[in-house]
Amino acid sequence: MSKDLDKPARAESGNIPEHIAIIMDGNGRWAKQRLLPRFAGHTKGVNAVNKVVEACCNRGVRYLTLFAFSSENWRRPPEEVSLLMKLFRKVLVLEINNMCQNNIRLKIIGDLSKFDTELKQLIQNAEEKTAANTGLTLTICANYGGRWDIVNACNELIRDGLDQDSITEEMLSSKLSMAYAPPPDMLIRTGGEARISNFLLWQMAYSEFFFTDTYWPDFDGKSLDEAIASFQKRERRFGRTSEQLLESSE
Ligand code: FPP
């Protein structure tokens, strides 16, 4: 991540989504197309992460949330899981200074209990070092699952001793692992699939979805601008009618 942040290419400067969530898919296919091992795609995927983080800082996006490792990804071949963990460690060690220089606050969410002590320590250090930064909040979802998050939140409410029938949507939201952020305005999924794969299930109730065939390693600031430009054309009604929206803006 360089300090020399590039300028918007296509998206209009108004109505930038405050929170963008991304399912970074297609690393394996990107590598396969080039007759490279799958892991080469993941390594290249880290470059794409850096580009998109920079672009988000430039465009004024406040929250960027990346699905790096799902609770289901443990089912992958052990060598790939182990290499992904290695890559995660590397990012946590090498990128923290850049994040501080760029005023980025890093958060890691998911069931971290499954990670080894060293990785847990690195996560804690990275979060602590960047905690006071006031620019982009970058959240990496690691061993994350939307269902896990909701069940966890319910269990916390029960632990708090709440009475039957007293739980509200606000209370449940407040116990989710990303309670510090507004819900994503837009979900981007690369790699040509059109599903949410147990990502932020609760929070995506009103997110705008953008699916692209581009493989994650090829996704960059220009691709982000295309997604934002599509977002800017959408009418977000949140259950209301177009006429009501017009009235309230007059
Ligand atoms: C999906 O592509 C990608 C992943 C499961 C891992 C994503 C990880 C990175 C981009 C690198 C690490 C990033 C951070 C922030 C630590 P896939 O392997 O399912 O691709 P395929 O569908 O083409 O096989």
Q: Is residue 47 part of a domain?
A: yes
Q: Is residue 156 part of a domain?
A: no
Ligand 1 pocket mutation pick from 1, 22, 24, 53 by most atoms within 8 angstroms of CB: 24
Q: What is the pLDDT of residues 25-52, one digit of tens each?
A: 999 999 999 999 999 999 999 999 999 9
pLDDT of residue 2: 41
Q: Tell me the C-alpha distance between 171 and 202, whole Å.
A: 13
**Residue ranges making up the domain that contains 28:** 19-151+184-234
Q: Is residue 145 part of a domain?
A: yes
Q: Is residue 171 part of a domain?
A: no
Instruction: Look at residue 175 and give its three-state secondary structure.
Output: coil
List the CATH number of the domain containing 93: 3.40.1180.10
The overall pTM is greater than 0.85:
yes
Q: Tell me the C-alpha distance between 5 and 20, whole Å.
A: 18
Q: Tell me the C-alpha distance between 3 and 91, whole Å.
A: 17
Max CA separation in the chain (angstroms): 58
Q: Is residue 211 part of a domain?
A: yes
Q: Is residue 104 part of a domain?
A: yes
**225: Cα within 13 Å, side-chain hemisphere:** 16
Q: Is residue 10 part of a domain?
A: no
Instruction: Look at residue 105 and give its three-state secondary structure.
Output: strand
222 CB under 6 A from ligand 1?
no
99 CB under 6 A from ligand 1?
no
Q: What is the pLDDT of residues 97-107, one digit of tens each?
A: 999 999 999 99
Least Cα distance to 107 among 138, 84, 81, 77 occurs for 138
Q: Is residue 53 part of a domain?
A: yes
CA distances from 127 to 132, 135, 139, 200 (A): 9, 14, 10, 21
Tokens of 27: 């690393």
Count the domains in the chain. 1
